[in-house]
Amino acid sequence: MIKCYENGVFAQNAWIYSNPATNEAIVVDPGDELEGLFDLIGNDKVTHIFITHGHVDHIQGLGEVKEKYPDAIIVAHELAKKTLPSPQKNLASSMGIDLVAPLPDWTYSGKKGSITAAGQEWTLIHTPGHAIDHTIFVSSDLVMFGGDVIFAKGGIGRVDFLGCDPIAMKVSIAKTLSAPPKTMVYPGHGPKFTIEQARPYFQHIKM
């Protein structure tokens, strides 16, 4: 079961992936309005917190979620060790916010990693461009938490922030679109969509 809590002035999607068989849950990118998020989690046990990238709108509630679920494992790319605790690199300082988010508990390095969470095997793919530490999470049941790489109807994450790289973004878009067609993408902003629905908008991207 997947639930969404849209929060903050940036309308950021905080996702909850839950396994009814085990009552385990994953929280993806906790934003800054947590009461509604906690209501959606209910009595599920949060075992993991997935961070697609260390930008303020995606991590502002990370410390509070970790405090509420201290045994939950914060999962991110190793470069998140640089972005999460830095108000400059997580872009909080540009908004007048002094955000020092907790460091990840578990990281992977390089282009790809894997982890088991909430009864599913997850492949973690480094997809920089919008952010240096950006990761997409793809499960064995064709769920993708896509962060800010691609959005519905051909949208993409901005590439004009500190740490952005337009050339790397093109490569990351191609990686994202190479997922199986029926993969359902749950993005950092906006509605969900399938890879199959997204591909026609990116015919200029080589896959």
CATH number of the domain residue 45 falls in: 3.60.15.10
Determine the Cα–Cα distance for residues 84 and 102; give it in Å rounded to an integer.
7
Q: Average pLDDT of the chain?
A: 95
Residue 12, in any domain of the structure: yes
Tell me which residue has tokens 């903050």: 8
Residue 207, in any domain of the structure: no
Q: What are the tens digits of pLDDT across the range 126-162?
A: 999 999 999 999 999 999 999 999 999 999 999 999 8
Determine the Cα–Cα distance for residues 85 and 65; give it in Å rounded to an integer.
16
Task: Give pTM, 2 decimals.
Answer: 0.96
Residue 92, in any domain of the structure: yes
Residue 18, in any domain of the structure: yes
Residue 52, in any domain of the structure: yes
Q: Mean pLDDT across the stretch 25-45? A: 94
Number of domains in the chain: 1
Residue 23, in any domain of the structure: yes
Residue 187, in any domain of the structure: yes
Determine the Cα–Cα distance for residues 97 and 67; give it in Å rounded to an integer.
20
Res. 10 pLDDT band, cuts 50 70 90: confident
Tell me which residue has tokens 């916010």: 97
Its domain, for residue 64, covers 2-202
105: nearest Cα among 126, 75, 80: 75
Residue 134, in any domain of the structure: yes
